[in-house]
Amino acid sequence: MKTNNQTFSDLADLQYENSFGQLPEAFYTRLQATPLQNSRLVTVSKSAAELLDLNLSDELKEQLAQVCSGQEALEPFDPLAMVYSGHQFGGYSPQLGDGRGLLLGEVRNSKGEKWDLHLKGAGQTPYSRFGDGRAVLRSCIREYLASEALYHLGIPTTRALCIVTSDTPIYRETEERGSTLLRLAKTHIRFGHFEYFYYTKQHDELKILADHTIEQHFPELTDKENKYSLFFRQVIEKTALLIAKWQVAGFAHGVMNTDNMSILGDTFDFGPYGFQDDFDWHFICNHSDHSGRYAFSKQAEMGYWNCARLAQALLPLMDVKDMQPSLDAYPQLYSDTYKQLMLEKLGLTSEEEEDGELVQKLLQLLHDTHCDYTLFFRALSDYQPDQQNDKLLNLFPDLSAIQPWLKLYAERLKRNLTSDKQRSENMKQVNPKFILRNYLAQQVIEKAEQGDYSELEELMVVLQSPFDEHPDLERFAQQPPEWGRKLEVSCSS
Ligand code: AMP
Ligand code: MG
């Protein structure tokens, strides 16, 4: 329902661009969203709204709801569904594409930063295959929570501006509500975009895509003679960094297919992801991942495998010898970043030769004792040699499991360059008190499906400042109850 004649574009002070829409038609199909019935706004992320300089007035929220329900076109955009392909669970799928989302367009904020606006759940497109083009409320909430949570943990990710739900019935295992999520991302270009043009032998288009990506996102490389190999190098670096950060946070993506890999190394396409509760090396968050291809312990290797698929797709643009050194650098880039971030979690100010072993021993210990990953590091932040350390020790029913490691740690701390107080403060900046546990997402979803969004808003408070104390919201820092340990999440969303 409109209360006045002002559109979203009138209310938001944004510079509109459409660089992807200016590429040749081989890259997309233009179409409008299919409207949802009786739609309403579920939530808006204030923090994401700041990226677009939005003043979240009632009027603007109303217009946002209209745009996200497909009732109103987002002037002056010409929405489009992108075509791409990709390797899914190791096999090549020749044609994927935006089957249930549309790139509404690109905007630039007052700082000059560019953001893609993508409407997930916008209806069928030529790339929907057998899908209905829709997203249900629970999958929109899962993406919303995860993208905002990862961002506030300092992990590169796409963002989520808002969710709209409706009375349009959507059939999954049961009847659910058609919903949309407005995603913000620096780009929606995936590894799979390059694969599509490579495998369809459209090498001119492949070059156009690479040039476009470089011009838009790596402008400093535009005039370099070896720009493609420098670009590839940066993608490798960003991917290795991203996956190191996932591992350190205990995050499993769940579906690391090449069509879900952002060319800018952002966490992208949230499906059956999961954060570690009790630490398990072999954590498989995706119930449909029967072989454990994307298990937690395999993510770094899968990231490399995906980079190799990208390398293959870029072959028409450069020689193997210009790519191989970058690929070869991935394992070291990954492990150096991982180690450095883990040392920060331990509060160590410099690196010693045996620190890698200290980390490995700890992870093995957490795995063997099924210790809660997040609670452990938060409690370790308060560790004081020669004190009781009850909070930490209470995490271990059998103290003999942790004591030998703590002895090594206490020895190591003697050579650390900070006071215990300073170390504790530093550690609390990198060891979150709050993470997006699966059971918390589930509780929020169950309430939201009944029309109660209060738990969603409260959970967002802690996810937006996960390193701070929130005495009134301690309940979000608890380990999962029994029912919350065995939740199954699969691709059906
Ligand atoms: P995903 O598993 O979300 O990465 O999606 C893989 C492919 O399936 C992509 O091309 C999606 O656009 C498409 N897809 C996923 N869900 C749907 C749906 N409900 N309707 C149409 N296409 C979908
Ligand atoms: Mg996908």
In angstroms, what is the span from residue 164 Cα to ligand 1's centroid?
19
Q: Tell me what pLDDT residue 393 has.
A: 98
Q: 382 an active-site residue?
A: no
Q: Which residues in 333-343 are b (16+ Cβ under 10 Å) and which e?
A: bbeebbbebbb
Q: Tell me what pLDDT residue 4 has.
A: 59
Q: Tell me what pLDDT residue 93 has.
A: 97
* C-beta of 134 in contact with ligand 1 (< 6 A): yes
* C-beta of 94 in contact with ligand 1 (< 6 A): no
* C-beta of 272 in contact with ligand 1 (< 6 A): no
Q: Tell me what pLDDT residue 66 has.
A: 94
CB atoms within 10 A of CB 149: 26
Beta-bridge partner residues of 108: 15, 114
* C-beta of 126 in contact with ligand 1 (< 6 A): no
Minimum CA distance residue for ligand 1 atom 23: 99
Structure tokens at 366: 């957490």
Ion ligand 2 neighbours, Cβ < 5 Å: 259-260, 269
In angstroms, what is the span from residue 86 Cα to ligand 2's centroid?
9
In angstroms, what is the span from residue 99 Cα to ligand 1's centroid?
5
> How far is CA 207 from each of CA 230, 282, 314, rounded to the nearest angstrom?
15, 39, 9
Structure tokens at 29: 């199909």
- Nearest residue to 231 via CA among 356, 375, 239, 86: 239
Q: Which residues of the chain are under the pLDDT cut of 70?
A: 1-4, 491-493
DSSP label of 15 = E
* Residue type at 23 in one-letter notation: L
In angstroms, what is the span from residue 185 Cα to ligand 1's centroid?
18
Q: Where are the domains positioned within the chain? A: 11-191, 346-427
Residue that is written with structure tokens 């193997």 in the block: 320
Ligand 1 probe mutation, 93, 96, 195, most atoms within 8 A of CB: 96
Minimum CA distance residue for ligand 1 atom 6: 96
263-278 tens-digit pLDDT:
999 999 999 999 999 9
* C-beta of 374 in contact with ligand 1 (< 6 A): no
Q: Which helix (H) or strand (E) holds 216?
A: helix 203-217
* C-beta of 100 in contact with ligand 1 (< 6 A): yes
* C-beta of 271 in contact with ligand 1 (< 6 A): yes
Q: Tell me what pLDDT residue 491 has.
A: 65
Minimum CA distance residue for ligand 1 atom 12: 99
